[in-house]
Structure formats: C-alpha cells, structure tokens
Amino acid sequence: MRKTIVAAAAVIALVACSKQNQTRVSAPAPASATVSGAKAKSVMHERSDGMKKVGKAMKILGAQIKSGAPDMTAVKAAAAAMDGLARKSSAWFPAGTGPDAGKTRAKAEIWLKPQDFAAKVKGFQTAAANFNAAAQTGNAATATASLGELGKSCKACHDNYRSDEHR
Ligand code: HEC
C-alpha cells in the first residue's frame, strides 16, 4: 500500500514535471529539488488551492459525520477527493516556496526539519487513505471511527508548520 502511494506520488510528480518541461520527463526532479521564479509561484498557488480543497472536503466530512445520519454518497466523494489531495500534497513543498518566496502561511521550519515534515505528510497520506477505505465500505460507523485520525493529522502539521496569519 505504502509502495503504491509512493509510486502514485512519483507519477504525479512526473506528470507535473512533464507539463512544465516537456523535454525532461525522463529525469524527474527529486521532491527536495529547489524551485524558484515562476515555478515557485505556481507550486505555491497549487498548494494554496490544494489546501483550500482539503479544507472544503474536511468541512463536508465533519458536517456529515456530525449529523449522525451521514449521506454516505457525499462522504465517499469527499473521502476520495481527500485521498487524492493527500497523495498530491507531497509535491506541494519543494524548497524555495517558503516565506521568502512570497505570501504564504508555510513556515520556514518546514525546510529546517525536512524529515519531521515528511513524516507529517506521510501521516496525512496514511490517515486519508485509511479514512477513504473506511468511507468506501459505505458503513457510517466505520467512517465515523476513522475521521478522528484524519483530523489529528491536519493538526499535527499545522501546529508546527503553518503560521497563524497570512503574511
Ligand atoms: C504536512 C503538513 C500539512 C498537513 C498534513 C495539512 N496541512 Fe493544511 N496547510 C499546511 C500549510 C503549510 C498551509 C499553509 C499553506 C500556504 O499558505 O502556502 C496549510 C493551509 C491550509 C488551509 C488554508 C488554505 C489557504 O491558504 O487559504 C486549510 C483550510 C488547510 N490547510 C486545511 C487542512 C486540513 C483540513 C488538513 C487535514 C485533512 C490539512 N490542512 C493537512 C500544512 C498541512
């Protein structure tokens, strides 16, 4: 499962890379490659957009689960979207996209503690995949039981790596 996620992330990175750089698809940049200029701006935009989508999906999930009688069609769709976004999220934080590069709530600590940050991303991906699997069973109680783990994974990262205000 973990291998699949890693492979999927690599494919996404490749696709993203090939869009920017048609001739260099054979040599995908490692996740840690530093970006700058227009590439940095586009990654930061994609990240902000992606996190907004993550927030929207979480809002839907929270509201449905809290209702006590969740619409499992809506839960399944939001869970699948969340899983897809979580997989993509490992490409949202290349070096060069921190506070020095423009308006962002991403803290410089992300690039000072890369191993810990990568663990937070992985925690999110694991929680989103587990939640999606639980949701796709169609059983409301199963989905409800695994939403907490997903919520914790957001907080674990935001607490250390997201600043309070837009700067
Ligand atoms: C690995 C770290 C990490 C994880 C996990 C994570 N986030 Fe974020 N999130 C960030 C960072 C960093 C930002 C600020 C991004 C920026 O401003 O460039 C952010 C921004 C956001 C935003 C604001 C978007 C905007 O700019 O308006 C929302 C909403 C959000 N996250 C929701 C969530 C939810 C919900 C989860 C879990 C389901 C989650 N995030 C998981 C790091 C994370």
- Domain span at residue 55? 35-161
In a domain, residue 125? The reply is yes
> What total of structural domains would you count in the chain?
1
Q: How confident is the prediction along the chain (167 residues), in pLDDT tens digits per residue?
A: 455 544 444 444 444 433 444 444 444 445 568 999 999 999 999 999 999 999 999 999 999 999 999 999 999 999 999 999 999 999 999 999 999 999 999 999 999 999 999 999 999 999 999 999 999 999 999 999 999 999 999 999 999 999 997 55
CATH of the domain at 63: 1.20.120.10
In a domain, residue 3? The reply is no
Ligand 1 and 88: CB distance under 6 A:
no
Ligand 1 and 17: CB distance under 6 A:
no
Look up the pTM and report it. Answer: 0.84
Ligand 1 and 162: CB distance under 6 A:
yes
In a domain, residue 120? The reply is yes
In a domain, residue 1? The reply is no
What are the residues whose beta carbons fall under 8 Å from the beta carbon of 107, sequence distance 6 or more?
98, 99, 160, 161, 162, 163
